[in-house]
Amino acid sequence: MIRPTIPDDTTALIALADATGLFEPNQLEELGEILSDYFGGSSGKGKRFWITDDDNGAVGVAYCEMEPMTDQTWNLQLIAIQPDRQGQGRGATLLRYVEQTLIRRGGRILLVETSGTPDFERTRTFYRKCGYEEEARIRDFYQAGADKIVYCKALSVQHQ
C-alpha cells in the first residue's frame, strides 16, 4: 500500500536508505534532517511530499519537491526500495504513483539526478526503463570521476 509518509516512519526510512548501500553516513544524517524539517510544520508542504510503500512496514520511499522559480518542474530527490524487495516492480509502481500525484497537481516535468559511477548502473537502467531520458551530465560533480546525470520526463503533453 502506498501512503503518505508519517513521522513514525522516520527511523525505518533512514534504515531503508542505509540498507541500499548507496548513501554515505553524512547523507543519511541529512536525510533525517530533511524528514524532521518536513514533519516540523515548516512552510512549503504543497511544494514537496514524501510517500511510503508499506507492506507491514516500510519497504519503499520516495521524496519529491518542486524546483523553485519554475513552472511546475519537480525533482525526485529520493526513491528507494528495500534490497530484498527490489526486482518485484515496487520501484516502478512507486515512481508511477509519484508521477500521477504530480500530474494531478499540474506538474509538467520530473527531473531525477543520479551518479554516473558503476555502482549506480542499476539505478540508471531503472530510470531509462521507466521512460526517463538523460538530459544532462555534469562531469566530476560529486567527486573526481563521479558525474551527475540528470534524467527528465515530461509528465503532460498539455502545455499552456
Q: What is the pLDDT of residue 157?
A: 54
Verdict on whether the full-model pTM lies above 0.75: yes
- Report the side by side order of strands in the sheet with 2-4: 2-4, 48-54, 58-66, 73-81, 109-115, 146-154, 133-143
Cα 155 to Cα 5, 33, 47, 83, distances in angstroms: 23, 29, 16, 28
Residue 160 counted as domain residue: no
* Per-residue pLDDT tens listing for the chain (160 residues): 999 999 999 999 999 999 988 888 999 999 999 899 888 876 566 789 999 999 999 999 999 999 999 999 999 999 999 999 999 999 999 999 999 999 999 999 999 999 999 989 999 999 999 999 999 999 999 999 999 999 999 997 554 4
Number of domains in the chain: 1
3-state secondary structure of 87: coil
State the cell numbers at 121.
548502473
Q: What is the pLDDT of residue 59?
A: 94
Q: What is the pLDDT of residue 160?
A: 41
Residue 133 counted as domain residue: yes
Residue 159 counted as domain residue: no
21-62 tens-digit pLDDT: 888 899 999 999 989 988 887 656 678 999 999 999 999 999
Task: Give me the domain span that covers residue 142.
Answer: 2-154
* CATH number of the domain encompassing residue 124: 3.40.630.30
Residues 15/61, Cβ–Cβ less than 8 Å: no
Residue 119 counted as domain residue: yes
